[in-house]
Amino acid sequence: MARENRLLLERDRPPAPRPGVETDIIGELRNLASSLPEGVASLRISRIKGHPEWAEPAFEVTPTNRKAARVGGYAVADDLYLTVGEAEREFVGFAKGGNIQKRINWQTELRWIWEAVISGEITQKHYFDSTGRIIGWATRFQVHGTEIVFRNGRRSPGFFRHEIVKIVAYEPYYNV
């Protein structure tokens, strides 16, 4: 019963982003998603999954092409936590210059990341343990000449064991 109540709270309570960066990031994502052709992807804005008591906004862009990379994450104060495909990265102080390239505003960098994802210029490594369970993800891609890395989990199932890797090449959201 408590789990059902928590799920109802997550669905029923919209996020309450603080004025400033949290609100601006959600607005920017809405603009980027609305610039896609109709039916290419859906944008969902909610509270952070598993934490309905937190007011910060979470987002997820799900492409209709199942072989394209999804984009998700959340904004908290000046930080941006971003997931591309299955790999994650936290941009600490994203809105205050903690982004990828210096002297570029966060809106431009978010758009550059968005363009790389929807164009399908991303490959991702999935790491497995000896039983076939996934234990980690890593993605490297170029954003205007700068390589950025997203990762989570681990690469090797243990010391002195070789990596078991599957490379996933994501497709574009749509063909131009």
What are the boundaries of each domain within the chain?
A: 2-121
User: Distance (Å, rounded) from C-alpha 5 to C-alpha 124?
Assistant: 36
Per the prediction, the chain carries an average pLDDT of 80
Assigned token pair, 61: 């862009």
Nearest of 150, 140, 32 to residue 90 by alpha carbon = 150
97-138 per-position pLDDT tens digit: 666 667 778 888 888 889 888 988 888 988 888 788 888 888
pLDDT of residue 130: 79
Contact criterion met (CB below 8 Å) for 78 and 94: yes
28-72 per-position pLDDT tens digit: 889 999 999 999 999 888 877 777 677 778 889 999 999 999 999
Contact criterion met (CB below 8 Å) for 150 and 18: no
Q: Specify the length of the chain in residues.
A: 176
Nearest of 92, 139, 88 to residue 116 by alpha carbon = 139
User: Distance (Å, rounded) from C-alpha 138 to C-alpha 161?
Assistant: 18
Torsion sign over Cα 25, 77, 70, 44? negative
pLDDT band (50, 70, 90) for residue 155: low
The torsion angles phi and psi of 31, rounded to 5 degrees, stand at: -65, -45
Nearest of 98, 94, 49 to residue 76 by alpha carbon = 94
- The amino acid sitting at 152 is N
